[in-house]
């Protein structure tokens, strides 16, 4: 009997070990799979990382209506001209008048024009686009559709009307992309909305600086005094004179250095243009009944510290415009020494902030793509990017006073001619499309126009159909003018009392509940396994008893 008792005792001890093992497994199963410790997918988790005090932030604070500045229509400082205005130049590379810019073909602008003429008998007629820039020269290709809007730089040479002197040669090229209309139909270049009106507001200039006492005589970058025939934009030199041609016509001895490939930064180097005057210009354009505003100027700063006074003023101004039914379009900004690329690991924690694109709730900010469809390397990335448009190898109007041709080259800092490029020239493509949408759908409010342009863009292969490089994608003018956008037709409908409420709650509680249910199920299976093992071991320990 002793051996039997020993054997039974051993089996009992073995059964106790199985029970303890089952208990441990059960506790481990419940512990690992309990709702409190379930590992949720990244998109279902609330971020536990708070931004540093006054540190990085991708979205601005709420609009402060009290920050809206009063528009007096005057410069904020006294500026004087330091560099000669651009003049017609001979460049080594002429523009073939019959050739269309690649961006024009990429966006199928000619087809868009046919569509609009068939539907409206005009292409953007009746819509005024405010160009807040360096001024707009009344080029013949505007056919008298440029109006004086204001001047925050002054004084002007030759007593030209406010806003109708473009000393830098930037605003005219921007306006040309929007509304240029060559009288010769064989000319390839055409503006996106060639029947629209341009309201020109001169707000900035890199050729003007804050006036100082005892300053040396103004000189051009080539060392010549203002008015000299060898003038060029800041930091550039003219090449040796030859008998070249620009715009398919003989070039004068004077030179055009059209365009700026470095962007138009506000509040840098003492040149004319601040965020405060930019805000005032937005208010002025709104009050003058513009339906679209184009700003190919911006301010770039490190994403640290609180929002500045000028930023608050500009934020309030663009909100003022949109709330009064104005579509606001802005260039996304160009990478430069003072504005490095947002290439940090977390795209939602930018190291640089660009305004006005930062105010994405009220602004269509435009990135630039190049000829192969990829995003241009100079285009600043950010979570505020709305859409993208062509921004390289630009052809537009020659901005020099008295010119009647086109230009496709500019001078860079080395003095060598180069192509016109930048997000500055991508933005007017979008402003032009916005003008067409406003003409085609006059009842659409500004925000609906902005949403239509984003909804019909060629979305990138990214979560939600957008990324920080091209936003919702490259604009599609034909789709913007023809597509049915469900959001425009949606009307609030009261649900019948027997229908469940809309599922608009957060997903995280449901995920936690499902995870907890799954954990309970696993725990139940483990419990059944342990119970089965215990009962089996007891049956073996009891002779004559059958195992269930």
In the set 133, 168, 298, 467, the catalytic residue is: 133
Is 395 in the same domain as 516? no
Q: Are residues 463 and 520 located together in one domain of the fold?
A: no
Inside any domain, residue 513: yes
- Tokens matching residue 20: 């303890």
> 113, 139, 166, 170: which is the annotated catalytic residue?
170
Reply yes or no on whether the pLDDT at 288 is more than 90.
Answer: yes
Binning pLDDT at 50, 70 and 90, where does residue 304 land?
Answer: confident
The mean pLDDT value for 201-217 works out to: 78
pLDDT at 162 over 60: yes
Q: What's the CA gap between 325 and 441, in Å, rounded?
A: 13
513 in the same domain as 374: no
- Verify that 352 and 287 share a domain, yes or no: yes
Range of the domain at 132: 65-486
45 has a pLDDT exceeding 60: no
| pLDDT tens by residue, 334-391 | 999 889 999 999 888 999 999 999 999 999 999 999 999 999 999 999 999 999 999 9
Could you tell me if 430 and 521 lie in one domain?
A: no
Residue 59 inside a domain? The answer is no
Same structural domain for residues 81 and 178?
Answer: yes
Q: Is residue 97 part of a domain?
A: yes
Cα–Cα distance, 105 to 126 (Å, whole number)? 25
DSSP 8-class letter at 25:
H
Establish if 14 belongs to a structural domain: no
Question: Does one domain contain both 452 and 355?
Answer: yes
* Torsion angle (degrees, nearest 10) of CA 35, 41, 44, 50: 100
Residue 280 backbone class (left: φ over 0; alpha: ψ -120 to 50; beta: rest): alpha
Domain assignment of residue 56, yes or no: no
Residue 515 has pLDDT above 50, yes or no: yes
Residue 201's nearest CA partner among 290, 138, 132 is 132
Asked if residue 29 is part of any domain, the answer here is: no
Whether 222 and 354 map to the same domain: the answer is: yes
Same domain, 384 and 286: yes
Structure tokens given for 523: 């725990």
pLDDT band for position 254 (50/70/90)? very low
Catalytic residue among 71, 204, 424, 459, which?
424
User: Which residues share a beta bridge with 128?
Assistant: 197
64 falls in which pLDDT band (50, 70, 90)? very high
Burial readout 44-62 (b: 16 or more C-beta within 10 A, e: otherwise): eeeeeeeeeeeebbbebee
Claim to verify: residue 394 and residue 518 sit in the same structural domain: no
Q: What is the pLDDT of residues 85-138, one digit of tens each?
A: 887 754 335 667 778 999 999 999 999 999 999 999 999 999 999 999 999 999
Known catalytic residue at 236? no
Question: 271 pLDDT band (50/70/90 cuts)?
Answer: confident
* Whether residue 225 sits in one domain with residue 293: yes
- Tell me, yes or no, if 133 is annotated catalytic: yes
278: CATH:
3.40.50.200
Total domains, the chain: 2
Q: Are residues 406 and 517 in the same domain?
A: no
**412 catalytically annotated:** no
The span from the CA of 515 to the CA of 40, in Å, is: 9
Calculate the CA dihedral of residues 393, 396, 398, 400 and round it to 10 degrees.
Answer: -100
Q: How far apart are CA 320 and CA 394, in angstroms?
A: 32
Q: Residue 43 domain-assigned? A: no
Q: Is residue 72 part of a domain?
A: yes
């Amino acid at each position: 009997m002793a051996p039997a008792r020993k054997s039974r005792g051993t089996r009992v001890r073995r059964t106790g070990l199985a029970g303890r093992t089952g208990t441990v497994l059960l506790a481990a199963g419940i512990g690992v799979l309990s709702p409190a410790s379930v590992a949720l997918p990244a998109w279902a988790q609330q971020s536990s990382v708070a931004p540093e005090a006054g540190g990085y932030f991708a979205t601005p604070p709420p609009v402060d209506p009290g920050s809206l500045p009063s528009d007096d229509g005057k410069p904020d400082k006294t500026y004087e001209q330091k560099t000669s205005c651009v003049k017609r130049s001979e460049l080594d590379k002429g523009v073939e008048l019959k050739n269309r810019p690649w961006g024009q073909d990429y966006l199928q602008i000619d087809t868009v024009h046919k569509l609009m003429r068939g539907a409206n008998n005009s292409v953007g007629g009746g819509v005024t686009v405010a160009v807040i820039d360096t001024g707009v020269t009344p080029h013949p290709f505007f056919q008298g559709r440029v109006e004086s809007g204001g001047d925050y730089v002054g004084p002007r040479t030759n007593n030209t009307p406010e806003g109708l002197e473009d000393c830098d040669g930037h605003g005219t090229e921007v306006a040309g992309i929007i509304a240029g209309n060559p009288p010769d139909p064989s000319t390839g270049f055409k503006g996106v909305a060639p029947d629209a009106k341009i309201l020109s507001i001169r707000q900035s200039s890199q050729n003007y600086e804050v006036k100082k006492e005892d300053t040396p005589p103004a000189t051009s970058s080539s060392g010549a005094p203002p008015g000299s025939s060898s003038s060029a934009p800041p930091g550039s030199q003219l090449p040796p004179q030859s008998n070249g041609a620009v715009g398919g016509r003989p070039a004068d001895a004077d030179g055009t250095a059209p365009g700026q490939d470095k962007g138009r930064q506000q509040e840098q180097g003492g040149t004319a243009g601040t965020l405060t005057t930019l805000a005032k210009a937005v208010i002025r354009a709104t009050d003058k009944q513009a339906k679209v505003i184009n700003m190919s100027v911006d301010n770039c700063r490190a994403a640290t510290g609180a929002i500045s006074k000028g930023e608050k003023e500009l934020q309030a101004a663009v909100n003022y415009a949109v709330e009064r039914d104005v579509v606001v379009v802005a260039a996304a900004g160009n990478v430069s020494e003072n504005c490095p690329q947002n290439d940090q690991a977390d795209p939602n924690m930018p190291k640089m902030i660009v305004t006005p694109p930062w105010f994405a709730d009220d602004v269509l900010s435009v990135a630039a793509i190049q000829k192969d469809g990829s995003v241009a390397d100079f285009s600043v990335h950010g979570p505020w990017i709305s859409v993208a448009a062509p921004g390289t190898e630009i052809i537009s109007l020659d901005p020099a006073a008295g010119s009647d041709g086109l230009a496709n080259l500019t001078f860079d800092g080395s003095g060598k001619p180069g192509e016109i490029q930048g997000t500055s020239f991508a933005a007017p493509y979008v402003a032009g499309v916005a003008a067409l949408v406003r003409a085609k759908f006059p009842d659409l409010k500004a925000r609906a126009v902005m949403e239509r342009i984003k909804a019909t863009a060629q979305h990138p292969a990214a979560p939600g159909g957008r990324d920080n490089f091209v936003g919702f994608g490259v604009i599609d003018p034909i789709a913007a003018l023809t597509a049915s956008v469900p959001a425009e037709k949606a009307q609030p409908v009261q649900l019948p009392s027997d229908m469940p409420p809309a599922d608009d709650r957060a997903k995280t509680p449901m995920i936690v509940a499902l995870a907890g249910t799954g954990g309970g199920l696993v725990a139940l299976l483990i419990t059944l396994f342990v119970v089965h093992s215990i009962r089996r071991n007891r049956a073996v320990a009891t002779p004559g008893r059958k195992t269930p």
